Structure 1
Amino acid sequence: MLNRVIEQLGLRVASMNEVEDSHSSTVYKCTLHNGENIFLKIPYTKLKYQRELEAYEILKGRVAIPEMLDCCSGDEECPGAFVLSELKGKPLTTDVSPTAAFQVGVLQATMHSIQPPKGKILSGIEDEFPYWSQFIEKQFYSFAEDVKEVVDERLYNQAIEKYEAMKQRIPSPDGPSFVHMDFRPANIIINGDRVSGMIDFESVRFGSTDIDFTKLYRDFLCHSPTLYAAFKKGYQSIRPLIDLEVVLPFYLFTDAFNSVGWCKRRGIEKNALFLEENLARLKGFL
Protein backbone atom coordinates (compact mmCIF):
# COMPACT_ATOMS: atom_id res chain seq x y z
CA MET A 1 0.00 0.00 0.00
CA LEU A 2 2.80 2.41 0.94
CA ASN A 3 4.61 1.89 -2.37
CA ARG A 4 1.36 2.39 -4.25
CA VAL A 5 0.69 5.69 -2.44
CA ILE A 6 4.23 6.93 -3.14
CA GLU A 7 3.83 6.04 -6.81
CA GLN A 8 0.38 7.65 -7.04
CA LEU A 9 1.67 10.89 -5.50
CA GLY A 10 4.75 10.89 -7.74
CA LEU A 11 7.19 11.16 -4.84
CA ARG A 12 10.88 10.57 -5.57
CA VAL A 13 11.90 9.28 -2.13
CA ALA A 14 15.59 8.89 -1.27
CA SER A 15 15.03 7.74 2.33
CA MET A 16 12.20 7.45 4.83
CA ASN A 17 11.63 6.74 8.52
CA GLU A 18 8.38 6.05 10.34
CA VAL A 19 7.41 8.65 12.97
CA GLU A 20 6.88 6.82 16.26
CA ASP A 21 4.65 9.18 18.28
CA SER A 22 1.65 8.99 15.96
CA HIS A 23 -1.40 7.17 17.31
CA SER A 24 -4.16 7.68 14.73
CA SER A 25 -2.18 7.66 11.49
CA THR A 26 0.88 6.10 9.91
CA VAL A 27 3.38 8.90 9.33
CA TYR A 28 6.71 8.80 7.51
CA LYS A 29 9.37 11.49 7.38
CA CYS A 30 10.76 11.33 3.84
CA THR A 31 13.81 12.90 2.26
CA LEU A 32 13.27 13.39 -1.46
CA HIS A 33 15.98 13.13 -4.12
CA ASN A 34 16.15 16.94 -4.27
CA GLY A 35 17.05 17.02 -0.54
CA GLU A 36 13.66 18.33 0.63
CA ASN A 37 12.09 16.83 3.76
CA ILE A 38 8.35 16.12 3.66
CA PHE A 39 5.91 14.07 5.72
CA LEU A 40 3.71 11.38 4.23
CA LYS A 41 0.64 10.76 6.37
CA ILE A 42 -1.85 7.89 5.95
CA PRO A 43 -4.80 8.12 8.41
CA TYR A 44 -6.25 4.90 9.82
CA THR A 45 -9.79 5.58 8.58
CA LYS A 46 -11.61 7.47 5.85
CA LEU A 47 -13.29 9.68 8.48
CA LYS A 48 -9.92 10.72 9.90
CA TYR A 49 -8.72 11.49 6.37
CA GLN A 50 -11.78 13.67 5.73
CA ARG A 51 -11.41 15.48 9.07
CA GLU A 52 -7.78 16.28 8.36
CA LEU A 53 -8.59 17.46 4.83
CA GLU A 54 -11.30 19.82 6.09
CA ALA A 55 -9.08 21.05 8.94
CA TYR A 56 -6.38 22.13 6.50
CA GLU A 57 -8.99 24.01 4.45
CA ILE A 58 -10.38 25.78 7.55
CA LEU A 59 -7.04 26.59 9.22
CA LYS A 60 -4.99 27.62 6.18
CA GLY A 61 -3.86 31.22 6.46
CA ARG A 62 -5.40 31.59 9.93
CA VAL A 63 -3.24 29.38 12.18
CA ALA A 64 0.36 28.21 11.80
CA ILE A 65 0.22 24.69 10.28
CA PRO A 66 2.24 22.74 7.70
CA GLU A 67 1.48 23.32 4.04
CA MET A 68 -0.48 20.53 2.40
CA LEU A 69 1.60 19.89 -0.72
CA ASP A 70 -0.56 17.12 -2.16
CA CYS A 71 -3.15 14.52 -1.25
CA CYS A 72 -4.90 11.48 -2.69
CA SER A 73 -8.32 10.20 -1.67
CA GLY A 74 -7.35 6.52 -1.57
CA ASP A 75 -9.46 3.44 -2.30
CA GLU A 76 -10.92 0.41 -0.51
CA GLU A 77 -7.51 -0.58 0.88
CA CYS A 78 -6.15 2.90 1.68
CA PRO A 79 -8.21 5.66 3.37
CA GLY A 80 -6.14 8.37 1.65
CA ALA A 81 -2.82 10.13 2.12
CA PHE A 82 -1.31 13.60 2.57
CA VAL A 83 2.03 15.10 1.62
CA LEU A 84 2.89 17.79 4.18
CA SER A 85 5.70 20.32 4.41
CA GLU A 86 8.13 20.18 7.33
CA LEU A 87 7.70 22.67 10.17
CA LYS A 88 11.15 23.76 11.31
CA GLY A 89 12.01 22.79 14.87
CA LYS A 90 11.17 20.09 17.38
CA PRO A 91 8.16 19.07 19.49
CA LEU A 92 7.51 21.23 22.55
CA THR A 93 9.23 20.26 25.81
CA THR A 94 9.30 21.82 29.28
CA ASP A 95 12.83 23.05 28.49
CA VAL A 96 11.61 26.21 26.73
CA SER A 97 11.46 29.90 27.61
CA PRO A 98 8.38 31.79 28.83
CA THR A 99 8.42 33.51 25.42
CA ALA A 100 7.75 30.17 23.74
CA ALA A 101 5.01 29.31 26.28
CA PHE A 102 3.39 32.70 25.59
CA GLN A 103 3.34 31.86 21.88
CA VAL A 104 1.76 28.46 22.56
CA GLY A 105 -1.04 30.37 24.28
CA VAL A 106 -1.41 32.66 21.28
CA LEU A 107 -1.48 29.66 18.94
CA GLN A 108 -4.21 27.86 20.87
CA ALA A 109 -6.33 30.99 21.38
CA THR A 110 -6.11 31.81 17.67
CA MET A 111 -7.37 28.31 16.87
CA HIS A 112 -10.14 28.62 19.46
CA SER A 113 -11.27 31.90 17.83
CA ILE A 114 -12.38 29.93 14.76
CA GLN A 115 -16.10 29.13 14.76
CA PRO A 116 -18.11 26.74 12.55
CA PRO A 117 -18.18 28.14 8.98
CA LYS A 118 -21.61 29.46 8.07
CA GLY A 119 -23.23 27.91 5.03
CA LYS A 120 -20.52 25.25 4.62
CA ILE A 121 -21.44 21.61 5.02
CA LEU A 122 -18.67 19.52 6.60
CA SER A 123 -18.70 15.75 6.25
CA GLY A 124 -15.70 15.02 8.49
CA ILE A 125 -15.59 17.61 11.27
CA GLU A 126 -18.56 17.33 13.60
CA ASP A 127 -20.09 20.26 15.50
CA GLU A 128 -20.51 18.76 18.97
CA PHE A 129 -21.08 22.05 20.81
CA PRO A 130 -24.90 22.03 20.90
CA TYR A 131 -24.77 18.63 22.65
CA TRP A 132 -21.47 19.06 24.50
CA SER A 133 -22.42 17.40 27.81
CA GLN A 134 -23.88 14.42 25.91
CA PHE A 135 -20.70 14.20 23.81
CA ILE A 136 -18.48 14.06 26.92
CA GLU A 137 -20.78 11.52 28.56
CA LYS A 138 -20.88 9.31 25.48
CA GLN A 139 -17.07 9.29 25.32
CA PHE A 140 -16.76 8.51 29.03
CA TYR A 141 -19.22 5.62 29.09
CA SER A 142 -17.88 4.23 25.83
CA PHE A 143 -14.40 3.92 27.38
CA ALA A 144 -15.98 2.65 30.61
CA GLU A 145 -16.65 -0.68 28.87
CA ASP A 146 -12.90 -1.07 28.35
CA VAL A 147 -11.88 0.31 31.76
CA LYS A 148 -14.10 -2.27 33.46
CA GLU A 149 -11.87 -5.01 32.05
CA VAL A 150 -8.67 -3.43 33.39
CA VAL A 151 -9.40 -2.20 36.93
CA ASP A 152 -10.99 -3.90 39.94
CA GLU A 153 -14.71 -3.46 40.58
CA ARG A 154 -14.29 -1.17 43.59
CA LEU A 155 -12.07 1.28 41.70
CA TYR A 156 -14.39 1.21 38.69
CA ASN A 157 -17.47 1.99 40.81
CA GLN A 158 -15.60 4.80 42.58
CA ALA A 159 -14.69 6.31 39.21
CA ILE A 160 -18.30 6.22 37.99
CA GLU A 161 -19.52 7.89 41.19
CA LYS A 162 -16.76 10.51 40.91
CA TYR A 163 -17.72 11.32 37.32
CA GLU A 164 -21.42 11.66 38.13
CA ALA A 165 -20.63 13.98 41.05
CA MET A 166 -18.08 16.14 39.18
CA LYS A 167 -20.17 16.69 36.06
CA GLN A 168 -22.81 18.49 38.15
CA ARG A 169 -20.31 21.23 39.04
CA ILE A 170 -19.05 22.05 35.54
CA PRO A 171 -19.94 25.55 34.28
CA SER A 172 -21.53 26.19 30.88
CA PRO A 173 -19.17 25.21 28.04
CA ASP A 174 -17.12 27.87 26.22
CA GLY A 175 -17.65 27.90 22.46
CA PRO A 176 -18.43 26.89 19.81
CA SER A 177 -14.78 26.81 18.83
CA PHE A 178 -12.44 24.77 16.67
CA VAL A 179 -10.88 22.34 19.16
CA HIS A 180 -7.87 20.15 18.42
CA MET A 181 -8.74 17.38 20.92
CA ASP A 182 -5.06 16.28 20.99
CA PHE A 183 -3.31 19.58 21.77
CA ARG A 184 -0.24 18.11 23.46
CA PRO A 185 3.50 18.87 23.24
CA ALA A 186 4.17 16.23 20.56
CA ASN A 187 1.80 18.10 18.22
CA ILE A 188 3.27 21.57 18.83
CA ILE A 189 6.50 22.39 16.98
CA ILE A 190 8.94 24.89 18.50
CA ASN A 191 11.99 26.42 16.82
CA GLY A 192 14.02 28.12 19.55
CA ASP A 193 11.76 30.76 21.10
CA ARG A 194 9.37 30.64 18.16
CA VAL A 195 6.32 28.44 17.63
CA SER A 196 6.49 27.01 14.12
CA GLY A 197 2.95 25.62 14.28
CA MET A 198 0.83 22.62 15.19
CA ILE A 199 0.15 19.30 13.49
CA ASP A 200 -2.28 16.33 13.50
CA PHE A 201 -5.94 17.11 12.94
CA GLU A 202 -7.61 13.72 12.68
CA SER A 203 -9.50 14.19 15.97
CA VAL A 204 -10.64 17.82 15.59
CA ARG A 205 -14.20 19.01 16.33
CA PHE A 206 -16.18 22.14 16.81
CA GLY A 207 -16.97 22.10 20.49
CA SER A 208 -16.03 23.60 23.85
CA THR A 209 -12.54 24.97 24.48
CA ASP A 210 -12.80 23.43 27.98
CA ILE A 211 -11.45 20.06 26.86
CA ASP A 212 -8.52 21.38 24.83
CA PHE A 213 -6.30 22.46 27.74
CA THR A 214 -6.24 19.00 29.34
CA LYS A 215 -3.32 17.29 27.60
CA LEU A 216 -1.26 20.48 27.42
CA TYR A 217 -1.64 20.94 31.18
CA ARG A 218 -1.00 17.24 31.86
CA ASP A 219 2.21 17.07 29.82
CA PHE A 220 3.53 20.65 29.91
CA LEU A 221 1.87 23.43 31.92
CA CYS A 222 1.69 21.62 35.29
CA HIS A 223 5.49 21.28 35.40
CA SER A 224 6.26 25.02 35.64
CA PRO A 225 4.26 27.87 37.20
CA THR A 226 6.35 30.32 35.14
CA LEU A 227 5.48 28.67 31.83
CA TYR A 228 1.84 28.30 32.93
CA ALA A 229 1.62 32.04 33.68
CA ALA A 230 3.25 32.93 30.34
CA PHE A 231 0.87 30.61 28.47
CA LYS A 232 -2.16 32.26 30.11
CA LYS A 233 -0.93 35.75 29.14
CA GLY A 234 -0.44 34.62 25.54
CA TYR A 235 -3.89 33.09 25.37
CA GLN A 236 -5.57 36.13 26.97
CA SER A 237 -3.89 38.44 24.45
CA ILE A 238 -6.20 36.88 21.82
CA ARG A 239 -9.40 35.86 23.64
CA PRO A 240 -10.77 35.43 27.19
CA LEU A 241 -9.56 32.36 29.06
CA ILE A 242 -11.95 30.10 30.96
CA ASP A 243 -11.41 29.52 34.68
CA LEU A 244 -9.01 26.60 34.34
CA GLU A 245 -8.88 25.97 38.09
CA VAL A 246 -12.60 25.16 38.01
CA VAL A 247 -12.75 23.24 34.73
CA LEU A 248 -9.43 21.36 34.55
CA PRO A 249 -9.99 18.86 37.42
CA PHE A 250 -13.04 17.37 35.68
CA TYR A 251 -11.30 17.03 32.32
CA LEU A 252 -8.06 15.73 33.84
CA PHE A 253 -10.06 13.07 35.66
CA THR A 254 -12.02 12.01 32.56
CA ASP A 255 -8.79 12.06 30.52
CA ALA A 256 -7.10 9.64 32.96
CA PHE A 257 -10.16 7.36 32.94
CA ASN A 258 -10.58 7.45 29.15
CA SER A 259 -6.86 6.90 28.61
CA VAL A 260 -7.01 3.66 30.62
CA GLY A 261 -9.79 2.52 28.26
CA TRP A 262 -7.80 3.70 25.24
CA CYS A 263 -4.85 1.54 26.32
CA LYS A 264 -7.14 -1.49 26.56
CA ARG A 265 -8.45 -0.86 23.03
CA ARG A 266 -5.05 -0.23 21.48
CA GLY A 267 -3.21 -3.03 23.27
CA ILE A 268 -2.16 -3.18 26.91
CA GLU A 269 1.28 -4.61 26.19
CA LYS A 270 2.46 -1.97 23.74
CA ASN A 271 0.90 0.83 25.82
CA ALA A 272 1.97 -0.51 29.21
CA LEU A 273 3.80 2.63 30.34
CA PHE A 274 0.95 4.97 29.35
CA LEU A 275 -1.51 2.64 31.08
CA GLU A 276 0.55 2.66 34.27
CA GLU A 277 0.75 6.48 34.24
CA ASN A 278 -3.00 6.88 33.83
CA LEU A 279 -3.90 4.25 36.41
CA ALA A 280 -1.75 6.19 38.88
CA ARG A 281 -3.47 9.45 37.92
CA LEU A 282 -6.90 7.85 38.20
CA LYS A 283 -6.16 6.45 41.65
CA GLY A 284 -4.86 9.88 42.66
CA PHE A 285 -8.22 11.43 41.81
CA LEU A 286 -10.05 8.75 43.80
Structure 2
Amino acid sequence: MTEQQFISAEEFREFARKVLVQVGLSRDDVVDVVEPLVYASLRGIDTHGVRNFKSYYVDTLVDGSIDPQATIDVEFETPMSARANGRNGPGLVAAAWGMRLAMEKASASGAGMVSIRNSNHLGAAGYFAYLAVEDDMIGVSMSGHLYGDGTARGMAPVFSLQPMFGTNPFAVAIPCQKQPPYVLDMSTSVVPVNRVEFARDRGESIPIGWCLDSEGNPTADPAAAQIYLPLGGARDTGGHKGFGLAMIVETMTALLSAGWAEEDGSYAQDKIAHFLGAFRIDLFRDP
Protein backbone atom coordinates (compact mmCIF):
# COMPACT_ATOMS: atom_id res chain seq x y z
CA MET A 1 0.00 0.00 0.00
CA THR A 2 1.29 3.46 -0.92
CA GLU A 3 2.47 5.54 2.03
CA GLN A 4 -0.03 8.23 2.98
CA GLN A 5 0.84 11.89 2.60
CA PHE A 6 -1.17 14.71 4.13
CA ILE A 7 -1.73 18.07 2.46
CA SER A 8 -4.06 20.94 3.25
CA ALA A 9 -7.37 21.34 1.46
CA GLU A 10 -6.12 24.53 -0.15
CA GLU A 11 -3.00 22.79 -1.46
CA PHE A 12 -5.19 20.15 -3.08
CA ARG A 13 -7.49 22.79 -4.55
CA GLU A 14 -4.57 24.61 -6.16
CA PHE A 15 -3.05 21.40 -7.53
CA ALA A 16 -6.37 20.03 -8.81
CA ARG A 17 -7.33 23.27 -10.54
CA LYS A 18 -4.08 23.30 -12.50
CA VAL A 19 -4.47 19.68 -13.55
CA LEU A 20 -8.09 20.07 -14.65
CA VAL A 21 -7.36 23.16 -16.71
CA GLN A 22 -4.54 21.23 -18.40
CA VAL A 23 -6.93 18.44 -19.40
CA GLY A 24 -9.40 20.86 -20.94
CA LEU A 25 -11.94 21.97 -18.32
CA SER A 26 -12.97 25.61 -18.14
CA ARG A 27 -12.00 27.49 -14.99
CA ASP A 28 -15.66 27.74 -13.95
CA ASP A 29 -16.17 23.99 -14.31
CA VAL A 30 -12.95 23.27 -12.42
CA VAL A 31 -14.46 24.67 -9.22
CA ASP A 32 -17.50 22.42 -9.57
CA VAL A 33 -15.26 19.35 -9.85
CA VAL A 34 -12.86 20.20 -7.03
CA GLU A 35 -15.23 21.41 -4.31
CA PRO A 36 -17.35 18.23 -3.97
CA LEU A 37 -14.17 16.18 -3.54
CA VAL A 38 -12.87 18.49 -0.82
CA TYR A 39 -16.31 18.50 0.84
CA ALA A 40 -16.30 14.71 1.04
CA SER A 41 -12.74 14.30 2.28
CA LEU A 42 -13.08 16.97 4.97
CA ARG A 43 -16.11 15.09 6.31
CA GLY A 44 -14.38 11.73 6.40
CA ILE A 45 -16.17 10.41 3.31
CA ASP A 46 -12.89 9.23 1.83
CA THR A 47 -14.62 6.85 -0.58
CA HIS A 48 -16.00 9.84 -2.50
CA GLY A 49 -13.27 12.39 -1.85
CA VAL A 50 -9.90 13.26 -3.32
CA ARG A 51 -8.95 9.58 -3.77
CA ASN A 52 -11.23 9.59 -6.83
CA PHE A 53 -9.64 12.65 -8.42
CA LYS A 54 -7.38 10.81 -10.86
CA SER A 55 -9.25 7.59 -11.62
CA TYR A 56 -12.81 8.92 -11.76
CA TYR A 57 -12.23 12.36 -13.25
CA VAL A 58 -8.77 13.14 -14.66
CA ASP A 59 -8.25 9.80 -16.42
CA THR A 60 -11.74 9.81 -17.94
CA LEU A 61 -11.29 13.36 -19.21
CA VAL A 62 -7.93 12.47 -20.74
CA ASP A 63 -9.09 9.26 -22.46
CA GLY A 64 -12.23 10.91 -23.85
CA SER A 65 -14.74 8.92 -21.81
CA ILE A 66 -16.01 12.27 -20.50
CA ASP A 67 -16.16 15.42 -22.64
CA PRO A 68 -14.40 18.35 -20.90
CA GLN A 69 -16.02 20.82 -23.29
CA ALA A 70 -19.59 19.57 -22.91
CA THR A 71 -22.29 22.23 -22.77
CA ILE A 72 -25.44 21.40 -20.82
CA ASP A 73 -28.59 21.86 -22.90
CA VAL A 74 -32.01 22.63 -21.42
CA GLU A 75 -34.53 20.62 -23.45
CA PHE A 76 -37.72 21.48 -21.55
CA GLU A 77 -38.45 24.09 -18.91
CA THR A 78 -41.22 25.54 -16.74
CA PRO A 79 -41.02 28.09 -13.91
CA MET A 80 -40.57 25.21 -11.44
CA SER A 81 -38.81 22.50 -13.46
CA ALA A 82 -36.30 21.74 -16.17
CA ARG A 83 -35.11 18.73 -18.13
CA ALA A 84 -31.55 18.87 -19.43
CA ASN A 85 -28.96 16.91 -21.41
CA GLY A 86 -25.52 16.78 -19.78
CA ARG A 87 -23.86 15.94 -23.12
CA ASN A 88 -21.48 13.46 -21.46
CA GLY A 89 -19.77 16.11 -19.38
CA PRO A 90 -18.51 15.67 -15.81
CA GLY A 91 -21.33 14.63 -13.48
CA LEU A 92 -20.03 16.93 -10.76
CA VAL A 93 -20.43 19.90 -13.09
CA ALA A 94 -23.90 18.86 -14.26
CA ALA A 95 -25.16 18.28 -10.72
CA ALA A 96 -23.85 21.63 -9.45
CA TRP A 97 -25.42 23.38 -12.44
CA GLY A 98 -28.69 21.54 -11.84
CA MET A 99 -28.87 22.45 -8.16
CA ARG A 100 -28.14 26.11 -8.88
CA LEU A 101 -30.95 26.14 -11.42
CA ALA A 102 -33.30 24.37 -8.99
CA MET A 103 -32.46 26.94 -6.30
CA GLU A 104 -33.05 29.80 -8.73
CA LYS A 105 -36.47 28.41 -9.57
CA ALA A 106 -37.25 27.79 -5.91
CA SER A 107 -36.37 31.37 -5.04
CA ALA A 108 -38.95 32.59 -7.55
CA SER A 109 -41.62 29.89 -7.32
CA GLY A 110 -41.11 28.13 -4.00
CA ALA A 111 -39.82 24.87 -5.45
CA GLY A 112 -37.39 23.98 -8.20
CA MET A 113 -36.71 20.57 -9.76
CA VAL A 114 -34.18 19.65 -12.44
CA SER A 115 -33.58 16.27 -14.08
CA ILE A 116 -30.46 15.66 -16.17
CA ARG A 117 -29.65 12.76 -18.50
CA ASN A 118 -26.47 11.77 -20.34
CA SER A 119 -24.19 12.56 -17.41
CA ASN A 120 -21.53 10.84 -15.30
CA HIS A 121 -20.49 10.07 -11.71
CA LEU A 122 -21.36 12.95 -9.34
CA GLY A 123 -19.36 11.98 -6.26
CA ALA A 124 -21.00 12.56 -2.88
CA ALA A 125 -24.68 13.31 -3.48
CA GLY A 126 -24.88 15.11 -0.15
CA TYR A 127 -22.71 17.96 -1.41
CA PHE A 128 -25.34 19.06 -3.91
CA ALA A 129 -28.23 18.78 -1.46
CA TYR A 130 -26.13 20.79 1.00
CA LEU A 131 -25.86 23.69 -1.48
CA ALA A 132 -29.56 24.43 -0.98
CA VAL A 133 -29.15 24.65 2.80
CA GLU A 134 -26.96 27.70 2.38
CA ASP A 135 -30.02 29.52 1.01
CA ASP A 136 -32.30 28.21 3.78
CA MET A 137 -33.87 25.61 1.48
CA ILE A 138 -34.31 21.86 1.71
CA GLY A 139 -32.13 20.22 -0.91
CA VAL A 140 -32.58 16.85 -2.62
CA SER A 141 -30.14 15.13 -4.96
CA MET A 142 -30.28 11.73 -6.65
CA SER A 143 -28.23 9.85 -9.21
CA GLY A 144 -29.42 6.75 -11.06
CA HIS A 145 -28.27 4.22 -13.63
CA LEU A 146 -30.14 1.24 -15.08
CA TYR A 147 -28.39 -1.29 -17.32
CA GLY A 148 -31.09 -2.72 -19.56
CA ASP A 149 -29.06 -5.80 -20.50
CA GLY A 150 -27.31 -6.10 -17.16
CA THR A 151 -23.76 -5.23 -16.20
CA ALA A 152 -20.70 -6.98 -14.83
CA ARG A 153 -20.81 -5.16 -11.49
CA GLY A 154 -23.73 -3.44 -9.83
CA MET A 155 -26.84 -3.90 -7.69
CA ALA A 156 -29.10 -6.83 -8.51
CA PRO A 157 -32.88 -6.66 -8.05
CA VAL A 158 -34.48 -8.96 -5.49
CA PHE A 159 -34.93 -12.50 -6.90
CA SER A 160 -32.07 -11.91 -9.36
CA LEU A 161 -28.32 -12.47 -9.60
CA GLN A 162 -27.98 -10.20 -12.63
CA PRO A 163 -26.67 -6.73 -11.72
CA MET A 164 -29.02 -4.19 -13.30
CA PHE A 165 -28.56 -0.97 -11.32
CA GLY A 166 -25.86 1.34 -10.17
CA THR A 167 -25.94 1.95 -6.43
CA ASN A 168 -28.43 4.79 -7.10
CA PRO A 169 -27.63 7.18 -4.23
CA PHE A 170 -29.81 9.96 -2.93
CA ALA A 171 -29.36 12.75 -0.40
CA VAL A 172 -31.56 15.18 1.52
CA ALA A 173 -30.22 18.23 3.37
CA ILE A 174 -32.37 20.20 5.84
CA PRO A 175 -31.47 23.53 7.50
CA CYS A 176 -31.59 23.49 11.31
CA GLN A 177 -31.38 27.21 12.15
CA LYS A 178 -28.37 27.69 14.46
CA GLN A 179 -27.50 23.99 14.55
CA PRO A 180 -25.62 22.11 11.83
CA PRO A 181 -27.91 21.00 9.00
CA TYR A 182 -29.28 17.47 8.89
CA VAL A 183 -27.81 15.72 5.83
CA LEU A 184 -28.75 12.18 4.81
CA ASP A 185 -26.53 10.84 2.02
CA MET A 186 -26.82 7.15 1.18
CA SER A 187 -26.71 4.56 -1.55
CA THR A 188 -29.70 2.32 -2.08
CA SER A 189 -27.35 -0.66 -1.97
CA VAL A 190 -25.80 -1.83 1.30
CA VAL A 191 -22.59 -0.03 0.31
CA PRO A 192 -21.48 2.04 -2.68
CA VAL A 193 -18.98 0.70 -5.20
CA ASN A 194 -16.39 3.18 -3.92
CA ARG A 195 -16.43 1.58 -0.46
CA VAL A 196 -15.53 -1.81 -1.91
CA GLU A 197 -12.85 -0.26 -4.13
CA PHE A 198 -11.46 1.51 -1.07
CA ALA A 199 -11.11 -1.80 0.78
CA ARG A 200 -9.52 -3.44 -2.27
CA ASP A 201 -6.95 -0.66 -2.64
CA ARG A 202 -6.03 -0.96 1.04
CA GLY A 203 -5.72 -4.74 0.90
CA GLU A 204 -8.63 -5.22 3.30
CA SER A 205 -11.50 -7.69 3.29
CA ILE A 206 -15.15 -6.61 3.29
CA PRO A 207 -17.90 -7.79 5.65
CA ILE A 208 -20.06 -10.68 4.55
CA GLY A 209 -23.44 -9.21 3.61
CA TRP A 210 -22.17 -6.41 1.39
CA CYS A 211 -21.69 -8.24 -1.89
CA LEU A 212 -21.89 -11.56 -3.71
CA ASP A 213 -19.45 -13.03 -6.22
CA SER A 214 -20.40 -13.79 -9.82
CA GLU A 215 -21.90 -17.14 -8.75
CA GLY A 216 -24.14 -15.55 -6.13
CA ASN A 217 -22.08 -16.60 -3.13
CA PRO A 218 -21.38 -14.20 -0.24
CA THR A 219 -17.82 -12.90 -0.46
CA ALA A 220 -15.36 -11.07 1.78
CA ASP A 221 -12.96 -10.47 -1.13
CA PRO A 222 -13.47 -7.00 -2.63
CA ALA A 223 -11.84 -8.13 -5.88
CA ALA A 224 -14.50 -10.84 -6.26
CA ALA A 225 -17.45 -8.56 -5.47
CA GLN A 226 -19.74 -8.42 -8.50
CA ILE A 227 -23.29 -8.30 -7.13
CA TYR A 228 -24.03 -5.48 -4.70
CA LEU A 229 -26.91 -6.29 -2.37
CA PRO A 230 -29.73 -3.74 -2.09
CA LEU A 231 -30.17 -1.92 1.21
CA GLY A 232 -31.65 -4.49 3.58
CA GLY A 233 -29.53 -7.28 2.13
CA ALA A 234 -31.05 -10.56 1.04
CA ARG A 235 -34.71 -11.18 0.25
CA ASP A 236 -35.56 -12.43 3.75
CA THR A 237 -33.87 -9.49 5.51
CA GLY A 238 -35.61 -6.68 3.64
CA GLY A 239 -33.69 -6.31 0.39
CA HIS A 240 -36.92 -5.36 -1.39
CA LYS A 241 -36.75 -2.02 0.44
CA GLY A 242 -33.41 -1.06 -1.07
CA PHE A 243 -34.52 -2.30 -4.48
CA GLY A 244 -37.71 -0.23 -4.19
CA LEU A 245 -35.72 2.87 -3.29
CA ALA A 246 -33.41 2.26 -6.25
CA MET A 247 -36.44 2.18 -8.55
CA ILE A 248 -37.70 5.47 -7.12
CA VAL A 249 -34.30 7.07 -7.73
CA GLU A 250 -34.32 5.64 -11.25
CA THR A 251 -37.76 7.14 -11.88
CA MET A 252 -36.81 10.60 -10.64
CA THR A 253 -33.53 10.66 -12.54
CA ALA A 254 -33.62 8.64 -15.74
CA LEU A 255 -37.36 8.50 -16.42
CA LEU A 256 -38.06 12.20 -15.82
CA SER A 257 -34.97 13.22 -17.80
CA ALA A 258 -35.79 10.92 -20.76
CA GLY A 259 -32.61 9.00 -20.01
CA TRP A 260 -34.23 5.66 -20.82
CA ALA A 261 -34.24 4.61 -24.46
CA GLU A 262 -36.10 1.63 -25.91
CA GLU A 263 -33.81 -0.56 -27.98
CA ASP A 264 -34.90 -3.92 -29.43
CA GLY A 265 -37.84 -4.11 -27.06
CA SER A 266 -35.83 -3.52 -23.88
CA TYR A 267 -34.85 -0.36 -22.06
CA ALA A 268 -31.26 0.81 -21.82
CA GLN A 269 -29.70 3.84 -20.18
CA ASP A 270 -26.42 4.78 -21.80
CA LYS A 271 -25.22 7.22 -19.12
CA ILE A 272 -25.98 8.27 -15.56
CA ALA A 273 -28.93 10.57 -14.80
CA HIS A 274 -29.51 13.02 -11.93
CA PHE A 275 -32.33 14.77 -10.11
CA LEU A 276 -31.82 17.98 -8.13
CA GLY A 277 -34.53 19.63 -6.06
CA ALA A 278 -34.76 22.72 -3.84
CA PHE A 279 -37.71 23.73 -1.66
CA ARG A 280 -38.23 26.98 0.23
CA ILE A 281 -39.09 26.41 3.88
CA ASP A 282 -40.90 29.73 4.26
CA LEU A 283 -43.75 28.34 2.14
CA PHE A 284 -44.78 26.38 5.24
CA ARG A 285 -44.35 29.16 7.81
CA ASP A 286 -46.65 31.92 8.95
CA PRO A 287 -45.61 35.28 7.48
Common topology (TM > 0.5): no
Q: Scaled by the length of structure 2, what TM-score is found?
A: 0.27
| Bigger relative CO (Cα 8 Å, ≥ 6 apart) | 1
**Which structure carries more strand by proportion?**
2
